[in-house]
Amino acid sequence: MTGRGGARKRQVNPELLSDEEYVLKRQRNNDAVNRTRQKKRQEETDTSMRVEELRNENTQLERKVRERYSYISFSFALIVFSEKLVMRVARAYPYGSNYSDYCGIYAL
């Protein structure tokens, strides 16, 4: 059998239960069903809220990753630029001459 079937129903033997007992039993069963359904709804609500919280947290973390990646990329570009600048200065002032002599900066 495929699909989702209902609960198995039993025939109530009217001889075994008085009307009051039957009504009380049905009421307790209905209460239990309602509690179970309410609990299920609450679990679904809690899960939905948690999913939303995790999505928001994920968005914030992705933003932080992008910011840090940008910072690292900028830092790397700055290092490469600095290395190129040092190489240009080294070629412009060969043989260990003091760059500060040429630019008016006094070496400490």
* Tens of pLDDT, residues 22-79: 889 999 999 999 999 999 999 999 999 999 999 999 999 999 999 999 999 999 999 9
pTM: 0.53
Polymer length of the chain? 108
Query: 15 is written with which tokens?
Result: 């001889």
Contact (CB, 8 A) for 88 and 99: no
The Cα 62–Cα 56 span in angstroms is 10
For the chain, domain boundaries: 19-94
> For residue 28, what are the CA distances in angstroms to 25, 37, 42, 86?
5, 14, 21, 86
The Cα 84–Cα 13 span in angstroms is 95
